[in-house]
Homo-oligomer: A and B are copies of this chain.
């Protein structure tokens, strides 16, 4: 239940591209985010094939957003970079050596994970890249406005 490197760096690269009106090259992104050019290229390829950014080849080439930032949902980005917390086929994959999930009838564990997944989706599906392009202070007030977070004193 940790953030993967792909998720962290992928999202940062996307934010970096979004912050720049014009296009950014791999060396530029690599330097800005502190990752190797080769690794930046790998991550950018994932983002490109998932349709969030588009590339221009050749000299004067680079990457830019494939569509406006307010139409890029962060939940979709995270899915592309690292998959969901609780996959729909999780139980069937984790039934061990038995053919059916040993908890299929009375699976309180599954119910708990589903709850956590819903809460995470609640935030990530309502957050767009546009929201992340604001600065941190504005971001804090944005997340406070999300449903389900009103009673929390979340950001110290």
Contacts and interface: CB of A to CB of B under 8 A. Distances in A.
Nearest to A79: B1
Contacts of A155: 111, 114-115
Given A106-B136, A110-B136, A112-B127, A4 B5 contact: no
A51 to B, nearest CB: 20
Given A96-B34, A106-B136, A118-B152, A86 B3 contact: yes
As for how many copies of this chain the complex holds, the number is: 2
Interface string A105-132: 1111111111110111011100100011
Interface of A: 1-5, 7-9, 11-12, 15, 32-36, 74, 78, 82-87, 90, 94-98, 102-103, 105-116, 118-120, 122-124, 127, 131-136, 139-140, 143, 146-149, 151-152, 154-155
